[in-house]
Structure 1
Amino acid sequence: MKKNNLILGMLLTAAAASAQAQPSADAERLDAVAERGRHVMPFHLEKTLHVFNKTPHGGIQQVIAKDAGDAEQIALIRRHLLDIGQGFKQGDFSRQRRIHGDDMPGVAELAAGYAKLHFDYRELPNGAEIEYSAEESSLIDAIHRYFNAQLSDHARHAVGGKPEQCRHKMHRHGAMRPSLPKE
């Protein structure tokens, strides 16, 4: 419990210290995204943290409860990520479109290329994660742009992961914040 609180404290400190690493949306958009998110995500945004860690083959999206003992939020996180992961496997990104809009970077490519992507759901002690992976550099780039958009739109409730050396040359990664270590 103390270890989880220490890790969460470090994540929140890193997020505050490096907010300029991934530019956040303006306050009006942040408010609008949070409001639309309340109708799509069953968990409480203020009680959770989104972590987006880009990897050489895609990325890992985690949602964790800020209080590792909050069984209700953990159950809601797990149900939501399991549901959206199953939808992603069928090319359904409608929930993301409802929250972020139809022009969210990367979503059109992910929806069109879903058959070439892997979405692996895993439970964490304090939440859950989805690992996105692909072999095609254009799809890896789409995942990374999607993660950047998530970080921008959820800036109050999200942090980025550590930078990884990508095997594709489609774009450059900006400075990123540390991710939650796996236990």
Structure 2
Amino acid sequence: MKMMADSQRQAEVAGRGKDVMPFSLAATTHIFTKNVRGGIQQVVVKKPTDAGQVKMTRQHLQEIRDQFLKGDFSGPSHIHGQDMPGLADLKASKPGQIAIDYKEVKGGAQLTYTTSDVSLVAALHKWFDAQLSDHGKDALEGHALHDGMK
């Protein structure tokens, strides 16, 4: 029963994702790697030679970085719902409490979230877990061997 509920939720999230994400969810993999100061969110195209999807992925991550730095989490709210775990705490954070760095990677891009506030680290981790669950087969949990942030 839980698997059916999970599958239904994932289908609903994918449907709403089209309103926010310009790229194809099925053509990309979202990788969420937690670390002691936040984490890394990567979106990479399954076929890195698909230049159009790579371009849209990179543009989207740049746009959401800018929105998040302004406290605008309307994209995740629309896709995942207002009660998405961790989202309320992220929305309540003050400008500058979370640094978000953008970087291009092979076949896509990544955002690195860094904060010294332990409650915001916990919120980021809950937010990552919710996305892993909601994106199903199109998401992976990353494993940092050493993030250099002790």
TM-score by length of 2: 0.91
Q: Please state whether the residue corresponding to 2:101 is helix, strand or coil.
A: strand
Does residue 1:88 correspond to 2:68, yes or no? yes
Q: Please state whether the residue corresponding to 2:12 is helix, strand or coil.
A: helix
Q: How much has 1:96 moved relative to structure 2?
A: 0.3
Separation in structure 1 between the aligned mates of residue 102 and residue 144 of structure 2, nearest angstrom: 22
The answer on whether the counterparts of 1:24 and 1:151 sit within 8 Å (CA) in structure 2 is no
Separation in structure 1 between the aligned mates of residue 54 and residue 136 of structure 2, nearest angstrom: 21
Q: Match for residue 121 of structure 1?
A: 102
Separation in structure 1 between the aligned mates of residue 82 and residue 145 of structure 2, nearest angstrom: 28
Q: Please state whether the residue corresponding to 1:156 is helix, strand or coil.
A: helix
Q: Which amino acid aligns with 2:129?
A: N
TM-score by length of 1: 0.75
Deviation sequence 1:104-161 (CA, Å, 0-9, x none)? 0111111111421111111112100000110010000000000000000001210001
Identity %: 44
Separation in structure 2 between the aligned mates of residue 110 and residue 65 of structure 1, nearest angstrom: 27
Q: Please state whether the residue corresponding to 1:129 is helix, strand or coil.
A: strand
Q: Please state whether the residue corresponding to 1:39 is helix, strand or coil.
A: helix
Q: Would you say how many aligned residue pairs link Structure 1 and Structure 2?
A: 146
Matches within 5 A, 1:19-34: 26-34=6-14
- Output the aligned Cα RMSD: 2.2
Q: Match for residue 108 of structure 1?
A: 88
Gaps of 5+ in 2: none
Does residue 1:132 correspond to 2:113, yes or no? yes
Q: Which amino acid aligns with 2:29?
A: L
Q: Match for residue 148 of structure 1?
A: 129
